[in-house]
Structure 1
Amino acid sequence: MNKVEDQIYINKVLNGDVNSFSFLVDRYKDLIFTIAIRILKNREEAEEVAQDVFVKIFKSLYKFKGDSKFSTWIYKIAYNTCLDVLKKYNKQNNFIPIEEYSETQLAGLENIFDALVLKEQQISIQKCLNIMPYEESILLTLYYYEDQSLEEISKVLNINQNNAKVKLFRSRKKLESILRAQLPTEIIENYERSAK
């Protein structure tokens, strides 16, 4: 996403052209909804939160100083808004225990994830991400689907960069565990054969 182009539309909105805000909404609506659905795991709540997020963005657009990407700034607003909803309803997340892996299994983790991102397996990955606790799902979504750096992710999640790196590593391990449990054995075996 083009940082310069975002700034052009931000400036238009700040100069009174409120219709230009619709460009920013169109550009980021899918991502905001994805973040909300991953955290809240409820379509209606996610849609409502996505609308609230854009209202917050519009009202506080003048606060965006350009210190980070605009996308990072709005991801943080979306993430915090979702956390507020969770706190409000005191929702409990379903946590899946992490299994212990050998060094050999961990070495193949990156390759397994990369192969599964292919278009025909996208739906399976999305289902698995939905099973994960929201913070881990958001981490993986921002890193792999939105190409956010660890520095940008640390700003969104309000954690330091080293903590983001550790959490990303653990999230990938957990995703591998879920993928192995959810995907048909032949897909995994086929990938492992082709990776050798």
Structure 2
Amino acid sequence: MAFYKHILYTGLSDEDLMRYVARGKEKAFTELYRRYGNKMLIFFYQRLYQDKEKAEDFLHDLFLKIIENPQSFNTNKKFSTWIYAVAYNQCKNEYRKNASGLTKKERYTLDSSLDICENPSFENDYDLKTFSESLELELQKMDDKHGLTFILRHQDGLAIKEISKIMQCSEGTVKSRLFYAIKRLAQKLQIFKGQIKNN
């Protein structure tokens, strides 16, 4: 019977799982962690200077907030947008706390993922590595808002609407930032033409 109940949890939406978490259902929380734990760990790792211990600490704090105060989530809203917004604010607070001692390069070590290119057609790992390094260097030159908007869209795969909620700006602003970021990258990375797409 316990196994059957767990299967029921796996079929629930994120929002329904949060309703059960608010009632103290441990397996509902476990299912949410299964869905988002690794995603959010990567999110923190890439945005917190590739510091694994710090990323794990932030992940712990994020899910602790869910356990301690599940009522802070409005179950009529989309959970994925909410959890990214909470994580994004955690990172912003960390940046503010350490801003005086950070270089721009350190703030952007988060952008070095190889997954940014959605449809890679590189002939070998060397070309992919070269593209990733070149893309990272160009992202380092962008301001935080444009660079992070690009990452949320093309690495994390979030919708325009979700990004607008996370970054607390209009959808038009998100689209404008993406247009600017992609135009700049296309100009700077012409050798990799066709690898970056404005979807």
For normalisation by structure 1, the TM-score amounts to: 0.67
CA RMSD of aligned residues (A): 3.5
Q: Does 1:8 align with 2:16?
A: yes
Q: Does 1:57 align with 2:61?
A: no
**Greater RCO structure (CA 8 Å; 6+ sep):** 1
How many angstroms does 1:57 deviate by? 2.8
1:92 is matched with 103
Distance 1:85 1:165, change over 3 A: same
Q: Which structure 2 residue ranges, 5 or more long, are not aligned?
A: 1-9, 109-116
Letter of the 2:103 partner, please give it: Q
User: What are the residue-to-residue correspondences of 1:1-196 with 2, within 5 Å?
Assistant: 5-44=13-52, 45-90=54-99, 91-94=102-105, 114-116=118-120, 131=137, 132-133=139-140, 135-176=145-186, 179=189, 188=192
How many angstroms does 1:144 deviate by? 3.0
1:53-87 C-alpha deviation (Å, 9 max, x unpaired): 22223333212113431000000000000111111
1:102-125 C-alpha deviation (Å, 9 max, x unpaired): xxxxxxxxxxx554388x787666
**Secondary structure at the residue paired with 2:35?**
helix
Give the distance between the partners of 1:128 and 1:77, measured in 2 at CA: 30
Q: Which structure 1 residue ranges, 5 or more long, are not aligned?
A: 97-112
Give the distance between the partners of 1:178 and 1:41, measured in 2 at CA: 24
Distance 1:123 1:32, change over 3 A: farther
Distance 1:66 1:92, change over 3 A: farther
1:110-166 C-alpha deviation (Å, 9 max, x unpaired): xxx554388x78766665665535544542343234442212111001112211111
Give the distance between the partners of 1:22 and 1:63, measured in 2 at CA: 18
Give the distance between the partners of 1:68 and 1:117, measured in 2 at CA: 38
Give the distance between the partners of 1:59 and 1:53, measured in 2 at CA: 10
What is the identity percentage for the equivalent residue pairs of Structure 1 and Structure 2?
23
Distance 1:75 1:122, change over 3 A: farther
For normalisation by structure 2, the TM-score amounts to: 0.66
